[in-house]
Structure 1
């Protein structure tokens, strides 16, 4: 009698424990890895410019058809303005990664859409690499390089820009590329790109809003080369506020107005780098490299 009672108790304990064991082990054995991609741009408040980011996001989704893709903006100012004026909430990189962590993503490739590895890129790097240290659910985060990170990148970007020049531009007309510029040491990438472009076409010039080379440097070269017409193109992922106002605006301090004052007719081209497939391909190649470094066991 006692032996039968003892056996019944043991059986009940096993049955009670079984659901817990199932929940721990799962029906299909060990939990599978869950990879994802986070695309991070500086951001833009202009819906027309946002289409360039949607374009590159679409290309990435086609390249990785079975991997969830999320988007975040690194600029706090841009995110705040969109929330205030457009009543939309765009995630910061930290918010996007936190959400992916909550959704049990185990491995994430983060692709920067910045042009150079400057301050914005390095801040993103710190944020991304902090997440695997916050718990076991997100095991690995790998960063993709920005557009221009290596000498090979500079060669590829120069070739891509040559393929994307306005069809109506004549050889005796200049191309002036407007970069953002930065106080970060990575500002040297703009001068390096100028070097590679000059080897391909001596009438292509790189200037920056906040770094080197400056617009004054560009104007000096335009006059030295006897150029009286210039096509203005943004050297940024999108043709946003800088392109529409600082480059092509009618205000006295816009590049267009300043060139006009110096006797140089300008033709703005409001198309961002992320609109051109040749340049998008470079970012996507960096993402492919980053994704290949994820230690995904099964998915």
Structure 2
């Protein structure tokens, strides 16, 4: 084949371009191969310092490990107060930042973080903002996803209502009322509590939702109870664990506890000290959210 001398100069720039484009790949290969995919799960709860509440976390841990038998599972508590109390008693639980840092050092490239909170409030938002910062960080993680809290969609609300009702003590009569104590928050996500009242009312007209630090209040609950004409009230925490709020604010003997206030108002109160995460049907909702988050990790 014949070609003119000038043709060399037409081909030469193209060859230079190909070589230049290949240099970064060659440099990368010279410094080692890309990290292999390593997937992990981080379970992030608010936390509790009470020994009685630890069964809640054990239940969730078992359920997650059953659903993901080959995936390493780590834990974190978002409450600094809870972590400090536990540390004084010799038990160290990582914050979300510390847990993610350790997983990054261990070479995890893909991490699904599951929020174990009830609503998408301030704690949940803080976790999302924190863990997503580890994505794309130099020598950091390739992909980080976050599973939704217990209540996030219409389906979640309906499933939660069924799960809670299924775990009301069997000796409760149809004329007896059930009062659920939620935490409450100034965050706009507090709307999930009055929304819960609506969903529960559709299923059972004698189930009432109140909160410690939000709305509906205990006064709102008392007004609804008065209309129900119930004489007996089952008090249940609308929280993942039966911790300090459930044992003191709800069922405590202090004059301002819900049990004391309602007893003084003429109701016979029966406290039920079980957090929602002790109910397998509720744990299933969190696990299903985690399955979605884990699926979204992908492989690359």
**Counterparts in 2 of 1:9-158, with a 5 A limit?**
24-25=32-33, 31-84=35-88, 86-158=89-161
User: Cα deviations across residues 102-149 of structure 1 (Å, max 9, x unaligned)?
Assistant: 000000000000000000000111001111142233111100000001
CA distance in 1, matches of 2:138, 2:269: 54
Distance 1:112 1:80 in 2: 20
Equivalent in 250, 262, 265 of residue 262 of structure 1: 265
* Partners of 1:37 and 1:113 in 2: CA distance: 13
**Matches of 1:127 and 1:96, distance apart in 2:** 11
Corresponding residue of 1:249: 252
| Alpha-carbon shift at residue 241 of structure 1 (Å) | 0.5
Q: Which runs of 5+ in 1 are unaligned?
A: 1-20
- Say which of 163, 169, 186 aligns to 2:172: 169
Cα distance in 1, alignment partners of residues 225 and 277 from structure 2: 27
1:191 equivalent to 2:194? Answer: yes
Q: Quote how far apart the aligned CAs of 1:164 are.
A: 1.3
Between the two proteins, the alignment pairs up a number of residues equal to 272
SS of equivalent residue, structure 1 residue 24: coil
Within 1, Cα distance between the matches of 2:118 and 2:35?
38
Shift of 1:22: 9.6
Does 2:235 match 1:232?
A: yes
Alignment equivalent of 1:220, drawn from 205, 218, 223: 223
1:182 matched residue in structure 2: 185
Aligned counterpart, 1:3: none
Deviations 1:144-191 (A, max 9, x none): 000001111111111111211111100000010000000000000011
Indicate the SS of the match to 2:196.
helix
Which structure 2 residue ranges, 5 or more long, are not aligned? 1-28
Distance 2:54 2:107 in 1: 29
The whole-number CA distance in structure 1 between the counterparts of 2:113 and 2:273 is: 27
Equivalent in 191, 214, 219 of residue 211 of structure 1: 214
* Distance (whole Å) between structure 1 residues aligned to residue 109 and residue 274 of structure 2: 36
Alpha-carbon offset, residue 295 of structure 1: 2.0
CA distance in 2, matches of 1:109, 1:170: 42
CA distance in 2, matches of 1:92, 1:262: 42
2:293 aligned with 1:285, yes or no?
A: no
Match of 1:16 in 2: none
Q: SS at 1:37's partner residue? A: strand
Distance 2:93 2:239 in 1: 20
Choose the corresponding residue for 1:200, options 199, 203, 206. 203
For residues 226 and 95 of structure 2, the distance between their equivalents in structure 1, rounded to whole angstroms, comes to: 43
Aligned-pair Cα RMSD in Å: 1.3
Q: How far off is 1:226 after superposition?
A: 0.9
SS of the aligned residue for 1:148 comes to coil
TM-score by length of 1: 0.89
Would the aligned equivalents of 2:117 and 2:149 in 1 still touch at CA under 8 Å?
Answer: yes
Alignment match, 2:23: none
1:49, CA displacement in angstroms?
0.4
Distance 2:279 2:265 in 1: 31
* C-alpha contact (below 8 Å) 2:134/2:140 kept by paired residues: no
